[in-house]
Amino acid sequence: MNRLRALTDQGQAIWLDYIRRDLLENGELESLIEEDGVTGVTSNPAIFEKAIGSSDLYDSEIQAALDAEPDISTEKLYERLAIRDIQLAADLLAPVFESTRGADGFVSFEVSPHLARDTDGTLAEARRFWREVDRPNLMIKVPATIEGIPAIETLLAEGVHVNITLMFSLAHYEAVAQAYLRGVTRASKPGNAASVASFFVSRVDSLIDAKLADCAGKRAEALTGRIAIANSKMAYARYLEIFHGAAFADLRAAGARPQRVLWASTSTKNPAYRDVVYVEELIGPETVNTVPPKTLDEFRDHGEVAPTLAGGLEGVRSELATLAELGIDLNAATEQLQEEGLEKFSVPFDRLLETLEAKTTTLAGAAAGTSAGTSE
């Protein structure tokens, strides 16, 4: 039995949280799609920083771009490289998109993290990426900031698929779900809208566990490693209320699809925890789990497949109540995590541009030296 494919029987899609040129050109992604049932790809600035900045896979393309346009900006060069990766991934996922009639088979590309507090800037860049990538199975990633919410609504109304990212709390989820409802209501063809709400998981435990460590007693110890799952289950319960209730009934009748919850940041950060805990504990219908290659391999090897997501809400509410009684403010913690998340994407984005600028200088110098040697 392929454990990854067994997740499909539970109604859950698995997306790969990784992209790199060799993955797209050597048949590896095709194999993951065909053999493991992977149905999507996500990317972010940190992933592109590792892919482009830490390899020579893109050097020939960088050189060709410099030859054709010596004054190209570093940011424009990055976009050209990244968009090509996104297009290749989208083409490989096109059969999934077509066979599911637009319900799956997406590849996600993020607007600049420096636009997270800029509604108009987010809209302009998202529209530009939508045009330049020119693939129907593209999803534009927009963070669930206060400024991002109106951009999300507008993009959905315009028919742009959106992956809403950096969600850590029920308040974040509520704002995103309501933006989806408003956006799809405004869309000329509600049935064409596609969106996922990316709810981050493991980082919640990383922060809350540190706070629990400062609390003495068995109650705090019992909550260690439990709050991220509890928080996620509450978000899924709210998803069921919204998208299987009256709020979505008319849109569903008009052909609109629910906005699936996507579990993000599902690699295990604490080595004391089971390496696939954030996959195993969040298995349920109409959801997506996006995992990095290591977690994908680990789940394929020894993951346990069972419907774990729904139910058990009484225990979940009890855990969250105990957390509050211990003086730990989950809402404040999740707001902190969103701010930190913006920085975690901004720093590698800036580092990528610095690395790329240094690489273009080196390649330009090498080309100049070769040219000088030839002329002699």
Examine the residue annotation and report whether 141 is marked as an active-site residue of this protein: yes
- What average pLDDT does the structure give for the chain? 95
Q: What is the mean pLDDT of residues 357-366?
A: 83
What is the CATH number for 52?
3.20.20.70
Res 366: pLDDT: 67
Average pLDDT over residues 14-40: 97
**Three-state SS annotation for 235-259:** HHHHHHHHHCCHHHHHHHHCCCCCC
Residues 6+ apart with CB under 8 A from 206: 269, 270
pLDDT band at 368; cut points 50, 70, 90? low
Q: Structural domain tally of the chain? A: 1
pLDDT tens figures, 293-316: 999 999 999 999 999 998 899 999
- Count of helix runs (H) and strand runs (E) in the chain: 17, 8
Percent with pLDDT over 90 in the chain: 93
- Per-residue pLDDT of 74-96, as tens digits, reads 999 999 999 999 999 999 999 99
pLDDT at 371 over 60: no
**Confidence at residue 262, expressed as pLDDT on a 0 to 100 scale:** 98
- Virtual torsion, Cα 248, 174, 278, 321, nearest 10 deg: -120
- In a domain? residue 214: no
- Determine the pLDDT at residue 23: 97
- pLDDT(373) > 90: no
Flag whether pLDDT at 165 surpasses 90. Answer: yes
Could you say which of 50, 141, 269, 344 is catalytic?
A: 141
pTM of the model: 0.95
- Poorest-pLDDT segment among 226-235, 276-285, 321-330, 365-374: 365-374
From the list 49, 46, 69, the residue with the least C-alpha distance to 58 is 49
Helix (H, G, I), strand (E, B) or coil at 93: helix
Torsion angles phi and psi, residue 200, rounded to 5: -80, 140
Is the pLDDT at 319 greater than 60? The verdict is yes
Give the rounded distance of the alpha carbon of 119 from its chain centre: 20
Q: Residues 104-114: pLDDT tens digits?
A: 999 999 999 99
Residue 257 has which token pair?
């699809």
Q: Which domain holds residue 152?
A: 3-204+228-309+342-364
Q: Is 62 domain-assigned? A: yes
Q: Tell me what the mean pLDDT of segment 189-198 comes to.
A: 96
With a pLDDT cut of 70, the percent of the chain lying above it is: 97
d(CA 75, CA 57): 18
Confidence band, pLDDT 50/70/90 cuts, at residue 41: very high
On whether residue 92 sits in a domain, the answer given is yes
Report H helices in 69-201: 74-99, 119-133, 148-157, 170-186
Would you say residue 376 has pLDDT above 60?
no
Instruction: Please determine, for residue 200, whether its predicted confidence score (pLDDT) is greater than 90.
Output: yes
Q: Which long-range contacts (CB under 8 A, 24 or more apart) does 128-133 make?
A: 129/83, 130/160, 132/79, 132/83, 133/83, 133/86, 133/87, 133/90, 133/109
Number of C-beta neighbours around residue 38 at 10 A: 23
196 falls within a domain:
yes
Residue 334 domain-assigned (yes or no): no
39 falls within a domain: yes
